[in-house]
Structure 1
């Protein structure tokens, strides 16, 4: 029986990665899939800060996402989204742990996907 329990043991993450793995959870998925709702609930349960990347973009740009798309186009929005993600990743390394909900299209942008892969933060598709 002991051998059977051992087969279910989860190994500890490597020491050089554990500080990142336990500092950030990024939720990705389609628009309206519940990333923000799940993220808020998870952050309360973990007692971590919650960030919604869309809300961060709106605050940085001082306008609604719909207005950014309408007035400046998708390219400008994606650039602002990428800048907001860079800023958030820098904060994660320097401060408290975070649960973050990414916008519906954020993860499919190659530069954002590479950033998240390189960060080795936990990513979950909702």
Structure 2
């Protein structure tokens, strides 16, 4: 099957949900560009996200994130992976709804913890109790992620390819997003 992507698909969800890995696989399967907003921010700043947080703070990072997402939504249609906090900002949600569509990779806390617990690249988890911090972030963010147009349940044991297929099935149910050609 060949598909045409009709608008940019923005992958949203918690850290560790698979936004980058699944997004990249979806883009490959659809033969469309994949862009990671965090990578774009790092490239522009010539610093890692953790370094930006440490030097300039989260508020500065969030402003840059919004600018990058806006620029990317105005460029070619693609699969766009965003950082876990990007969808929290009302301005970002409105831009995504206007110019693209949000796909929420809905992973539970257990799956997320399994994926992020041994990584030191998550600045928000640099606390004395990172598991508890993850749970608190999860509980605060899920009500906003639930506003995404296309939720896709992530489950332990599913491969990246299987998750990508799930996302494509959901996208294909929306002709404004994806059409078979």
- TM-score of the pair, normalised by structure 2: 0.54
Structure 2 CA distance for aligned equivalents of residues 111 and 62 of structure 1? 25
Q: 1:99 aligns with which of 72, 79, 85?
A: 79
Q: Which has the larger Rg?
A: 1
- Determine whether 1:65 maps to 2:49: yes
- Superposed displacement of residue 25, structure 1: 1.0
Query: Using the alignment, how far apart are the partners of 1:108 and 1:122 within structure 2?
Result: 15
Asked whether 1:29 is paired with 2:13, we answer yes
Deviation digits for residues 12-65 of structure 1 (CA, Å, limit 9, x no counterpart):
xxxxxxx9x713111100011101010010000000000011101111111100
Report deviation, 1:98. Answer: 0.4
The equivalent of 1:49 in structure 2 is: 33
Q: Which runs of 5+ in 2 are unaligned?
A: 106-181
Q: Indicate whether 1:116 and 2:100 are aligned.
A: no
Report the 3-state secondary structure (helix = DSSP H, G, I; strand = E; otherwise coil) of the residue aligned with 1:26: strand
Q: Which of structures 1 and 2 has the larger relative contact order (alpha carbons within 8 angstroms, sep 6+)?
A: 1
Runs of 4+ in 1 over 4 A off after TM superposition: none
Partners of 2:28 and 2:7 in 1: CA distance: 14
Q: CA RMSD in A?
A: 1.4
The residue that corresponds to 1:125 in the other structure is: 104
List runs of 5+ in structure 1 lacking aligned partners.
Answer: 1-18
Number of aligned residues: 102
Write out aligned runs for 1:7-22 (5 A): 22=6
